[in-house]
A and B are shown apart, each in its own frame.
Chain A
């Protein structure tokens, strides 16, 4: 599986646990017992990049970002 240097990061202050992201990208995001996203570590596989971008764009709180690598 080819991986990119892209990862998803969540702003935990902005996130209110809607869970939209986990529905759109279950391969990389699951929800904890309170409904907040747990994002799989590591680069996103090439074939999931479009889905990841869509998940980030769909977050109602703009809490999810697709970045080159976390700071």
Chain B
């Protein structure tokens, strides 16, 4: 099969009616997967420059190589489609509509690492689709490894690496472990070395295995090769998922020019563990993780939310922080105390600033006290979200402190689930550009 050209790549297979691609349709689209996988495929992954799309952007080849080698304990592959981030929909799109691309990638990881089992970790809404796709593969005898499905709970932390492993081990569901001494790559599911990989990362793997690293690098930049899925909120009437080449300016990806910045109060990149940017800076920023970090943000799992004018940004920020505080696993002293403190000051700042004695001066110190001090990176994400908000919405902070809270529109814009998380059942509509 000839290598496909241009973009979309991952989303090229979508059949437009929201149905999952059948195994037949999938093989027609991409050709059959390579008959066998060897460890040398990891070199190809290194050459491709693929990095993880679950949030941390860790190089995928290096991660596979770091899974402990053991003769007695074969590793386990976890395809992580938990997608706890409320503003993200791209992983749901993949598991609902392109399940075989994800399963191919997971089975290839199993082949390259000699794993004995693949576990697909997805929200309950995706289980019927994933199970019937696995059944299709079983019927045709496609895979030489067992694939199972485990339900990811509706929690922000469900997809955190060690939390996912704990859910699968049926212990401390969706709560992270301390991984400072050993990681899940040494001892994870059932005590075996475990690779936890985001489902979008695995979908890219499925295409790299077919078409090669050089093909992968034809899109994107030399430092940030390939494409990425973004979930975009606030640009079109409905949230949409787009596939873009890495490295293009965000404005270009969204079809917006610098003049359009005026109607946008701020851009949230990377979701609730990411960071706010001014619209002017965001529209020119090249979409790479390195650039985003330089701007005090992160591409994270590919969330982009535009905050239109007319909404009080500080009330948006406060609502999200309250949600994030409630989603903490309640296990680590600095996180439990620090997030409670941050939630309280952000709530005062948004809704009753006159009760905020000392202004916002206490906030950076509280952020310092949570960063790097939890078992997981949840508090670090909350701190980044808050620090960047204070920077980007500095004039609103001034106004709140001098004139009181906004009487304007405080209708919620950013999705904050109230349990049970109802949005999980409707996969966002994809847009292919």
Tell me if B374 is interfacial: C-beta within 8 Å of chain A: yes
| Contact A12 B369, beta carbon cutoff 8 Å | no
Most buried by A among B177, B180, B182: B180
Tell me if B16 is interfacial: C-beta within 8 Å of chain A: no
| Contact B180 A9, beta carbon cutoff 8 Å | yes
| Contact A12 B181, beta carbon cutoff 8 Å | no
A19 to chain B, nearest CB (A): 11
Task: Show 7 residue pairs from A and B whose CB-CB distance is below 8 angstroms, ordered by the A residue.
Answer: A12-B332, A15-B332, A32-B334, A36-B334, A71-B179, A71-B180, A71-B182
Residue of B nearest to A34 (CB): B337
Residues A17 and B178 in contact in the complex (CB < 8 Å), given A11-B375, A12-B375? no
Whole-angstrom distance between the alpha carbons of A15 and B373 in the complex?
A: 11
Most buried by A among B180, B332, B333, B369: B333
A68 to chain B, nearest CB (A): 11
Interface residues of B (CB under 8 A from A): 177-183, 331-335, 337, 369, 373-375
Residues A34 and B181 in contact in the complex (CB < 8 Å), given A12-B373, A12-B374, A12-B375? no
Which B residues are CB-close (under 8 A) to A33?
Answer: 369
Whole-angstrom distance between the alpha carbons of A32 and B379 in the complex?
A: 16
Which B residues are CB-close (under 8 A) to A65?
Answer: 180-181
Residue of B nearest to A32 (CB): B369
Whole-angstrom distance between the alpha carbons of A15 and B372 in the complex?
A: 15
Which B residues are CB-close (under 8 A) to A36?
Answer: 333-334, 337, 373
Give per-residue flags for A11-27: 1 if the beta carbon is below 8 A from chain B beta carbons, else 0: 11111110000000000
Which B residues are CB-close (under 8 A) to A70?
Answer: 180
A14 to chain B, nearest CB (A): 7
Number of A-B contacts (CB under 8 A): 46
Residue of B nearest to A9 (CB): B180
Q: Per a CB cutoff under 8 Å, which of A14, A16, A32, A38 touches B178?
A: A14
| Contact A13 B181, beta carbon cutoff 8 Å | no
Q: Per a CB cutoff under 8 Å, which of A9, A17, A67, A71 touches B333?
A: A17
Interface residues of A (CB under 8 A from B): 9, 11-17, 32-36, 38, 65, 67, 70-71
Whole-angstrom distance between the alpha carbons of A9 and B181 in the complex?
A: 9
| Contact A12 B331, beta carbon cutoff 8 Å | yes
Whole-angstrom distance between the alpha carbons of A14 and B374 in the complex?
A: 11
Which A residues are CB-close (under 8 A) to B333?
Answer: 12, 15-17, 34-36
Label chain A's interface by main secondary structure: loop
A35 to chain B, nearest CB (A): 7
Residues A13 and B331 in contact in the complex (CB < 8 Å), given A32-B369, A34-B337, A36-B373? yes
Whole-angstrom distance between the alpha carbons of A71 and B162 in the complex?
A: 15
Whole-angstrom distance between the alpha carbons of A11 and B337 in the complex?
A: 16
Which A residues are CB-close (under 8 A) to B181?
Answer: 9, 11, 65, 67, 71
Which A residues are CB-close (under 8 A) to B369?
Answer: 32-33
Residue of B nearest to A63 (CB): B178
Residues A11 and B178 in contact in the complex (CB < 8 Å), given A36-B373, A71-B183? yes
Q: Per a CB cutoff under 8 Å, which of A13, A32, A67, A71 touches B177?
A: A13
Whole-angstrom distance between the alpha carbons of A32 and B371 in the complex?
A: 13
Which A residues are CB-close (under 8 A) to B337?
Answer: 34, 36
Residue of B nearest to A12 (CB): B332
| Contact A11 B180, beta carbon cutoff 8 Å | yes
Which B residues are CB-close (under 8 A) to A34?
Answer: 333-334, 337
Whole-angstrom distance between the alpha carbons of A11 and B375 in the complex?
A: 7
| Contact B334 A12, beta carbon cutoff 8 Å | yes
Residue of A nearest to B180 (CB): A9
Whole-angstrom distance between the alpha carbons of A33 and B182 in the complex?
A: 29
B161 to chain A, nearest CB (A): 13
Whole-angstrom distance between the alpha carbons of A71 and B374 in the complex?
A: 15
Q: Which 5 pairs show the lowest CB-CB distances between chains A and B? A: A12-B332, A36-B333, A11-B178, A34-B337, A13-B331
Whole-angstrom distance between the alpha carbons of A13 and B328 in the complex?
A: 12
B330 to chain A, nearest CB (A): 10
Which A residues are CB-close (under 8 A) to B374?
Answer: 12
| Contact B183 A12, beta carbon cutoff 8 Å | no
Whole-angstrom distance between the alpha carbons of A17 and B335 in the complex?
A: 13
Which B residues are CB-close (under 8 A) to A71?
Answer: 179-183
Whole-angstrom distance between the alpha carbons of A32 and B335 in the complex?
A: 12
| Contact A13 B178, beta carbon cutoff 8 Å | yes
Whole-angstrom distance between the alpha carbons of A4 and B375 in the complex?
A: 25
